[in-house]
Amino acid sequence: MRNIEIKAKVSDLKQLLEKAKILAGQEAIIIKQHDTFYNVPNGRLKLRRFVENGEGELIFYNRPDSEGPKLSSFEKVSLQSPSVAGLNKVLDKALGAKIDVKKTRHLFLVEQTRVHVDEVEDLGSFMELEVCLKPEQEISEGEKIAYDLMEKLGINKQDLISGAYADLIK
């Protein structure tokens, strides 16, 4: 699976949420997430736990740590409760947990793009775009969609950040 991603710092959360709502044509889906990142030799491996229902996802992904639209390749498996907590213990013992990221995500769907407006504990407000590429789509088409949405949402190039939230938490 592939998508084109960008991540940016948000200075006016209320304004961004309103713009995203207009583009999506509906209210956000609110998701409380707790991500644990593990030590791995390449890429990133995280266990995402959904606070409300105890379910989760194990996600491995590879993407460059650069600002602006970038290709992300990933594999993901959904997990049912109560095995999520047990899996976290096993992964922590086997690989070592690197860091935890807790956030409240406002999810908007705009055509083939997932717009995430995140309030990250101890970090602040951020926005992610994930343009979900269709198998036949070129990377350049996904980048164009990302840039177009950045403009519509009022995201400036100087707001862009590289890496993951886990890289920003000290």
Length of the chain: 170
What is the phi/psi pair of residue 17, to 5°? Answer: -60, -40
Nearest to 121 by CA among 160, 55, 155, 165: 165
Measured distance CA(24)–CA(51) in Å, rounded: 25
Which residues lie closer than 8 Å to 100 by C-beta, 6 or more apart? Answer: 34, 35, 36, 37
Give the pLDDT confidence of 53-72 residue by residue, as tens digits: 999 999 999 998 888 899 99
Beta-sheet strands, E only, within the chain:
2-9, 29-38, 44-50, 56-62, 70-79, 97-110, 113-120, 124-132
Q: What domains appear along the chain, each with residue ranges and CATH number?
A: 2-168 (2.40.320.10)
Measured distance CA(164)–CA(57) in Å, rounded: 17
The tens-digit pLDDT sequence of the chain (170 residues) is 899 999 999 999 999 999 999 999 999 999 999 999 999 999 999 999 999 999 999 999 999 888 889 999 999 999 988 789 899 999 999 999 999 999 999 999 999 999 999 999 999 999 999 999 999 999 999 999 999 999 999 999 999 999 889 989 87
Measured distance CA(156)–CA(64) in Å, rounded: 20
| Predicted TM-score (pTM) of this structure | 0.91
Give the pLDDT confidence of 152-162 residue by residue, as tens digits: 999 999 999 99
